[in-house]
Structure 1
Amino acid sequence: MAALATIEIATVAGRPDLDTDLVAAASGGDTAEVGDGYFLLVKNGHASASRTITIDTPGTVDGHAIANATLVVTTLDYGIIPLTNLFRGTTGRATITYSDAAANITIAVYKIGK
């Protein structure tokens, strides 16, 4: 698993170009910081197949496991997932995996500054 770097951004007016920060998703999965203001940006660059992003949800409620979070990103589209403390694993980071060994997926982790 690769540890994704967090990019801090200030709240901005207009439309920032977040594409410039995207990196290739690791075929074995990635980890990311979690907390208030953190989010994962995913771009599916595949022209004919959707990709599924899965974030482990390690907690339980009344002894029952919480289902992992998934996001399906359609062809040539983007997805955003807030990285809340719900996803904090034993390492203090979220564990992220991808369908199809991360083929054609680029990602970035952001934290919105104050």
Structure 2
Amino acid sequence: MALLPVQAVVAAGLTPTMASAAAGGDKVPLGSANTWIEVANGGGSSVTVTVTVQNNSYKGLTLPNRTVTVAASGSAKIPLDASLHGDTNNQASIGYSGVTSVTVGAFRI
């Protein structure tokens, strides 16, 4: 499991750095608002990305983990929320159904 650095998108722009998705999942620090991950799937079949919901109860409702399907040769931007996804270290846990040809980056604006 890797801790992904959060890259700040600034007025001058950003050349993003993407890392290989870790087979055991990744963590993202949630110290700032407006944080998201981008997952790019270079493989030939879809991949499901799961963001663990740590605080899964809201007004008597149980909230499921967030799952996003990233199509083959596609990408997805997935927002992260500290109040939902932050663990005791204020980090989001990200899992992948497959990691071959999958890259990920964490960003904030």
TM-score, normalization by structure 2 = 0.87
**Shift in Å, 1:104:** 1.5
Partner of 1:82: 79
| Sequence identity (%) | 27
Across the aligned residues of Structure 1 and Structure 2, the Cα RMSD in angstroms comes to 1.7
Q: Which of 74, 91, 97 in structure 2 is aligned with 1:93? A: 91
**1:81 aligned partner, one-letter code:** I
Change beyond 3 A, Cα 1:12–1:72: farther
In structure 2, list runs of 5 or more residues that go unmatched. none
Matched positions, count:
106
Contact (CA 8 Å) 1:7, 1:109: kept in 2 or not?
Answer: yes
Q: Distance in 1 between matches of 2:18 and 2:35?
A: 15
Q: Distance in 2 between matches of 1:24 and 1:63?
A: 38
Partner of 1:5: 5
**Shift in Å, 1:17:** 4.9
Q: Distance in 2 between matches of 1:104 and 1:33?
A: 24
**Shift in Å, 1:61:** 2.0
Q: Which of 81, 97, 102 in structure 2 is aligned with 1:105? A: 102
Contact (CA 8 Å) 1:33, 1:83: kept in 2 or not?
Answer: no
In structure 1, list runs of 5 or more residues that go unmatched. none
SS of residue in 2 equivalent to 1:58: coil
List structure 1 segments (4+ residues) > 4 angstroms apart after TM superposition. none
**2:85 aligned partner, one-letter code:** F
Deviates more, 1:21-30 or 1:2-11: 2-11
Contact (CA 8 Å) 1:45, 1:104: kept in 2 or not?
Answer: yes
Partner of 2:66: 69
Determine which structure has the larger helix proportion and give its number: 1
TM-score, normalization by structure 1 = 0.83
Contact (CA 8 Å) 1:53, 1:99: kept in 2 or not?
Answer: yes
